[in-house]
Amino acid sequence: MGGGQKSYSLHPHDYKLLEEVGYGASAVVYRAIYLPSNEVVAVKCLDLDRCSSNLPAWLYHGFYLGDLEGMQHGCLDQESIQDDIRREAQTMRLIDHPNVIRAYCSFVVDQNLWVVMPFMAEGSCLHLMKVAYPEGFEESAIGSILKETLKALEYLHGHGHIHRDVKAGNILLDGDGLVKLADFGVSACMFDRGDRQRSRNTFVGTPCWMAPEVLQPGSGYDFKADIWSFGITALELAHGHAPFSKYPPMKVLLMTLQNAPPGLDYDRDKRFSKSFKEMVAMCLVKDQTKRPTVEKLLKHSFFKHTKPPELSVKKLFADLPPLWNRVKDLQRKDAAQLALKRMPSAEQEAISQSEYQRGVSAWNFNIEDLKAQASLVQDDDEIQEIREEDERMKLVANHQDASNSKSTLGKSILTNEIVCSEQVSAEEVPPAECLRKKGKLLETDLVESVNQWKIGQENNGSKTELLPSTSEKEVVQAKCRMPAGKSRQTLSGPLMPGIILGHSTSERGRNLERYDTDNQPPAEKIHNDIRRAPSFSGPLMLPNRASANSLSAPIKSSGGFRDSLEDKKANLVQIKGRFSVTSENVDLVKDIPLCTVPRRSSQVSPLRKSASMGDWVFESKQTPISQTPKESGNSIAPASVLMPYLQNLLKQTSIQQDLIVNLLNCLQPADVIDASQNGRLPPLSRSSENNGTVESMVSERERLLLIKISELQARMINLTDELNAEKLKHIQMQHQLNAAAGQEDVDRREGDA
Ligand SMILES: Nc1ncnc2c1ncn2[C@@H]1O[C@H](COP(=O)(O)OP(=O)(O)OP(=O)(O)O)[C@@H](O)[C@H]1O
């Protein structure tokens, strides 16, 4: 390794910094000229103030921290830490492999650490995708990039290093298509003991790419963690984004631990070969011992016929402007976006959003913050989670209470809701999505439906069994799509029909949704961003320079989430901190999702087809059920005025009656029996006709039922919250335990010495 390498000056004035070509968590990267030899280099300027909060990770794992002469930074005055840095610096200098980027040298300038390295003229793969390939690269290019990355990993693993941050943002390309793995900010050495050994029991990396064993404290991990990240990177290159990248960090963490591993779908990812899919599947096995080594992967048939990168990779940027112009363009876009956001908290939100999306490495988890985030965003994400899982057709029911898994549970709701999009197959949109489209509904309905849906999926095996007739399907779907401006504000999540359709066919649609805004004029983009702000599924909200780097989700507390959620909460009645009901004019009866109601043949549909959208919308003329004649005119209206109202009321009542029957079917039988025995619910005798006497009984039953339902939902939410809190506590405690064990180890060694 190494040897005979050219030496570089440690004086900043020997370097002429030119354009900015990239940004990381705490660094800006410049194209620069090394004046003594007129050579183009890259200088990564690390703001030590900014990275001080992450410094422990840097200090313990930073390969780039080379020559530290004159380093006065307050964070660095611990002797043992400096020893570590020096040791790492030595290792870094020894690195010499065509696919691993090395630091020529590094030195301190004011509060910055400058790291001089080869300039990679095309930037990172992530950057390239963001600029020109939002849906990912073609397979031949992916094959070449991955093979070169594997060679880099082979070298690193062979020398005892785990990279721990393999991702498209850290795979750099030069003008000839040469591929180099970069960023050893969080790498760890397998041969170390003590402090550094302990580091392999810490959370390090970028959540979406982190292997389950890395996220699972105490389990320990090794080189195989890089294989998992490599598999995720393969998916990232194939789709333009990593799986789960749109979710908040804590959600990513839980999904990685609990869900089936992501992968290329055999049906939907048709453009990719079988061997590519197999190779990815081999990497993304949860049991680390079953993942292949780099050597074994290199022998996989997928890599047998990969083209040299000069052929397959170089052409990717043939028609693109120089890197710095691309970066500038992105920055302009992001700056415009930021400037147009006039909310007082916009800047703060934008920054935290961008940090979130950037894929910052080496975050230290702040469990309390994350817990708060997770509890606030749970409902929204629950739906997203289902969608994501379902898109891969690898649904795993994570419902904690197996006793809920009764085959009859929620069947009628499922039957109605599962068809809320005609272009979406039953398994593509969960019932909650359908519920959500109605806008004003109990969030608990949503969660419960999602869970029931999961169970239904599991229990029923074939999802298509649940589909009702086409006519039913159309009406339910139409209802589900009712666009309501208000509901868009009060409930987060992608409500636009385009988004529903975007999910309808493949990842492709999703990618389009994700990246559409990048190609829009700033004003339009901002409009969309604002609309989507409460959702984590949205495309890039990268309002600052961070956009040049990564779309991933770092572990970081984010005021942004909270801000948007605070807005949301302003309109919400929060019950036990988690589920919510719109507080404005809440009317439990009126606000029950209509999409749970089956079509009645005699019913006049309140829906019409929109010519422009080809989508169903509600007739605004429809008399609102809550509006009484008194409200309308404050006097007794003539029969001609009252009649339509009464007819409408009658129809609505019958819809509600059906709804109640459906909801009743969803209750656990035990609860229903219990309630009936206590005399709390009058026996339900369903009648197809409505009259005055029945009506009053029905409304009483409705009221009691709704109370019962709310209680059950509140209970379920509480339990889920408690479970999540316990899980987080567990993780935190394990962390503390590890830290304590490590400290003991150090003390013992010091005692021995
Ligand atoms: N040698 C280089 N030549 C050209 N561009 C580079 C080089 N190194 C980095 N970049 C660009 O700068 C971006 C940020 O760099 P880098 O990933 O090293 O920063 P970081 O702070 O370690 O980021 P993170 O922690 O988020 O991974 C890269 O994604 C890439 O686009």
Q: What is the pLDDT of residues 178-209, one digit of tens each?
A: 999 987 654 554 444 444 443 444 445 577 88
Give the Cα separation of 360 and 363 in Å (integer).
7
Please answer whether residues 248 and 561 qualify as being in contact, where contact means their C-beta atoms are separated by less than 8 angstroms: yes
pLDDT at 313: 93
Catalytic residue among 49, 67, 96, 165: 165
Amino acid at 258: Q
Give the Cα separation of 280 and 277 in Å (integer).
5
**CA of 51, closest atom in ligand 1:** 21
- CB of 187 within 6 A of ligand 1: the answer is no
pLDDT at 664: 66
Place of tokens 């001089």: 116
- CB of 21 within 6 A of ligand 1: the answer is yes
Give Cα 380 distance to the centre of its chain: 11
Q: Which of 41-55, 259-273, 313-327, 547-561 has the lowest mean pLDDT?
A: 547-561
What band does 153 get if pLDDT is binned at 50, 70 and 90? very high
Residue whose CA lies nearest to ligand 1 atom number 8: 29
Residue 44 Cα to ligand 1 middle (Å): 8
The upper half-sphere exposure of residue 6, i.e. CA atoms within 13 Å in the direction of its Cβ, equals 11
| Alpha helix stretches (DSSP H) within 495-558 | 497-502, 507-516, 522-532
684 exposed, middle or buried (CB, 10 Å; 0-12, 13-18, 19+)? Answer: middle
| Helix axes of 125-132 and 323-340: crossing angle, nearest 10 degrees | 70
**CA of 23, closest atom in ligand 1:** 14
Residue 232 Cα to ligand 1 middle (Å): 19
Give the Cα separation of 74 and 318 in Å (integer).
46
Residue 183 Cα to ligand 1 middle (Å): 7
Q: Which of 43-47, 311-315, 642-646 has the lowest mean pLDDT?
A: 642-646
Place of tokens 């000229």: 33
pLDDT at residue 260 greater than cutoff 60 = yes
pLDDT at residue 168 greater than cutoff 70 = yes
pLDDT at 58: 35
pLDDT at residue 748 greater than cutoff 90 = no
Rounded to a whole number, what is the largest CA-CA distance in the chain? Answer: 100
Residue 724 Cα to ligand 1 middle (Å): 35
For 378, 600, 601, 633, 649, the CA distances from 690, given in Å and listed in that order, are 40, 14, 16, 26, 11
Place of tokens 């992501």: 262
Residue 93, both tokens:
């200098």
| CB neighbour list of residue 751: distance below 8 Å, 6 or more residues apart | none
**CA of 121, closest atom in ligand 1:** 4
pLDDT at residue 738 greater than cutoff 90 = no
pLDDT at 751: 83
Q: What is the DSSP letter of 100?
A: B
Residue 293 Cα to ligand 1 middle (Å): 27
Which of 258-267, 277-286, 511-520 has the highest mean predicted lDDT (pLDDT)? 277-286
Place of tokens 């908290």: 345
| Alpha helix stretches (DSSP H) within 418-469 | 431-438, 443-460
Residue whose CA lies nearest to ligand 1 atom number 19: 24
What band does 707 get if pLDDT is binned at 50, 70 and 90? confident
What band does 353 get if pLDDT is binned at 50, 70 and 90? low
Residue 548 Cα to ligand 1 middle (Å): 9
Pairing mode, if any, of strands 105-109 and 112-118? antiparallel
**CA of 119, closest atom in ligand 1:** 3
pLDDT at 91: 58
Smallest CA-to-CA distance from 203 within 78, 63, 56 is with 56
Give percent of the chain above pLDDT 70: 44
Q: What is the pLDDT of residues 577-629, one digit of tens each?
A: 222 222 233 333 333 333 333 333 333 333 332 222 222 222 333 333 334 33
Report CA dihedral (490, 494, 500, 503) to the nearest 10 degrees: -150
Amino acid at 567: D
Residue 44 annotated as part of some ligand binding site: yes
- CB of 167 within 6 A of ligand 1: the answer is no
Place of tokens 């105490």: 218
| 83 counts as catalytic | no
This prediction has a pTM of 0.50
Q: What is the mean pLDDT of residues 716-738?
A: 85
Pairing mode, if any, of strands 572-575 and 161-162? unpaired
Please answer whether residues 214 and 225 qualify as being in contact, where contact means their C-beta atoms are separated by less than 8 angstroms: yes
pLDDT at residue 68 greater than cutoff 60 = no
pLDDT at 466: 30
Give the Cα separation of 448 and 707 in Å (integer).
15
pLDDT at residue 676 greater than cutoff 80 = no
- CB of 170 within 6 A of ligand 1: the answer is yes
Q: Which of 138-152, 558-572, 727-741 has the lowest mean pLDDT?
A: 558-572
Residue 499, both tokens:
């988004």
Task: Work out the mean pLDDT of the chain and round it to a whole number.
Answer: 61
What band does 713 get if pLDDT is binned at 50, 70 and 90? confident
Pairing mode, if any, of strands 171-173 and 112-118? unpaired
| CB neighbour list of residue 170: distance below 8 Å, 6 or more residues apart | 124, 181, 182, 183
Predicted-complex ipTM score: 0.97
Across-strand partners of 28?
23, 45
- CB of 153 within 6 A of ligand 1: the answer is no
pLDDT at 27: 82
pLDDT at residue 535 greater than cutoff 70 = no
Output 191 or 286, whichever has higher pLDDT: 286
Q: What is the pLDDT of residues 437-466, one digit of tens each?
A: 333 333 333 333 333 333 333 333 333 333
Q: What is the mean pLDDT of residues 285-300?
A: 95
Residue 254 Cα to ligand 1 middle (Å): 28
Please answer whether residues 718 and 448 qualify as being in contact, where contact means their C-beta atoms are separated by less than 8 angstroms: no
Output 337 or 156, whichever has higher pLDDT: 156
Residue whose CA lies nearest to ligand 1 atom number 17: 24
Report residue 146: phi and psi, to 5°. -65, -40
393 exposed, middle or buried (CB, 10 Å; 0-12, 13-18, 19+)? Answer: middle
- CB of 169 within 6 A of ligand 1: the answer is yes
Secondary structure in 3-state letters for 617-654: EECCCCCCCCCCHHHHHCCCCCHHHHHHHHHHHHHHHH
pLDDT at 350: 56
- CB of 215 within 6 A of ligand 1: the answer is no
Q: What is the mean pLDDT of residues 387-391?
A: 46
- CB of 354 within 6 A of ligand 1: the answer is no
| CB neighbour list of residue 209: distance below 8 Å, 6 or more residues apart | 165, 166, 167, 228, 229, 232, 233, 242, 359, 552
Amino acid at 175: G
pLDDT at residue 421 greater than cutoff 50 = no
- CB of 355 within 6 A of ligand 1: the answer is no
pLDDT at 722: 85
**CA of 120, closest atom in ligand 1:** 3
Q: What is the mean pLDDT of residues 365-378?
A: 44
Q: What is the pLDDT of residues 462-509, one digit of tens each?
A: 333 333 333 333 333 333 333 333 332 222 222 222 222 233 333 333
Task: Name the CA radius of gyration of the chain, rounded.
Answer: 29
Residue whose CA lies nearest to ligand 1 atom number 12: 22
Q: What is the pLDDT of residues 96-135, one digit of tens each?
A: 899 998 888 888 898 888 889 999 999 999 989 988 999 9
Residue 128, both tokens:
């390239």
